[in-house]
Amino acid sequence: MAEPVLRLEAVRKSYNVGQPNEAEVLHGISAELQAGEFVALVGPSGSGKSTLLNIVGLLERPTGGEVFIRGENATALDEAGVTRLRGRTLGFVFQFHHLIPAFSALENVMMPQIIDRGRPEPAMAANARELLARVGLADKAASRPNQLSGGQQQRVAIARALAARPALVLADEPTGNLDSKSADDVFALMREFNQEQGIAFLLVTHDPRLAARCDRVIELFDGRVVDGATVA
User: Rounded to whole angstroms, how far apart are CA atoms 30 and 9?
Assistant: 5
Checking if the pLDDT of 171 tops 50, the result is yes
* pLDDT, average across residues 190-206: 89
CA distances (Å), origin 5, targets 166, 167, 183: 10, 7, 26
User: Rounded to whole angstroms, how far apart are CA atoms 98 and 68?
Assistant: 27
Segment 12-41, tens digit of pLDDT: 999 877 788 878 899 999 999 999 999 999
What pLDDT, on the 0 to 100 scale, is given for residue 228? Answer: 59
Give 231's pLDDT tier (boundaries 50, 70, 90): very low
CA distances (Å), origin 144, targets 95, 96, 108, 148, 156: 19, 16, 9, 7, 10
User: Rounded to whole angstroms, how far apart are CA atoms 139 and 129?
Assistant: 10
Neighbouring residues of 201: CB distance < 8 A, sequence distance ≥ 6: 37, 38, 39, 168, 169, 170, 171, 190, 194
What pLDDT, on the 0 to 100 scale, is given for residue 230? Answer: 58
Checking if the pLDDT of 163 tops 80, the result is yes
Mean pLDDT of the chain: 87
SS (H, E, C) the chain: CCCCCEEEEEEEEEECCCCCCCEEEEEEEEEEECCCCEEEEECCCCCCHHHHHHHHCCCCCCCEEEEEECCEEHHHCCHHHHHHHHHHHEEEEECCCCCCCCCCHHHHHHHHHHHHHCCCCHHHHHHHHHHHHHCCCHHHCCCCHHHCCHHHHHHHHHHHHHCCCCCEEEEECCCCCCCHHHHHHHHHHHHHHHHHHCCEEEEECCCHHHHHCCCEEEEEECCEEEECCCCC
- 42 in Cβ contact with 205 (< 8 Å): yes
* pLDDT, average across residues 200-208: 89
What pLDDT, on the 0 to 100 scale, is given for residue 232? Answer: 38
User: Rounded to whole angstroms, how far apart are CA atoms 183 and 189?
Assistant: 10
* pLDDT, average across residues 156-185: 84
* pLDDT, average across residues 82-89: 88
Say what the pTM is.
Answer: 0.85
Give the β-pairing of 168-172 and 200-204. Answer: parallel
What pLDDT, on the 0 to 100 scale, is given for residue 143? Answer: 93
User: Does the domain made of 38-60+79-227 have the CATH classification 3.40.50.300?
Assistant: yes
CA angle 65, 70, 76 (to 5 degrees): 40
Checking if the pLDDT of 68 tops 70, the result is yes
Could you state, in order of their start, the residue ranges of all structural domains in the chain?
38-60+79-227
Checking if the pLDDT of 1 tops 70, the result is no
* pLDDT, average across residues 121-145: 88
> Higher-confidence residue: 221 or 116?
221
Give 141's pLDDT tier (boundaries 50, 70, 90): very high
* pLDDT, average across residues 56-79: 93
* pLDDT, average across residues 151-180: 84
* pLDDT, average across residues 154-173: 88
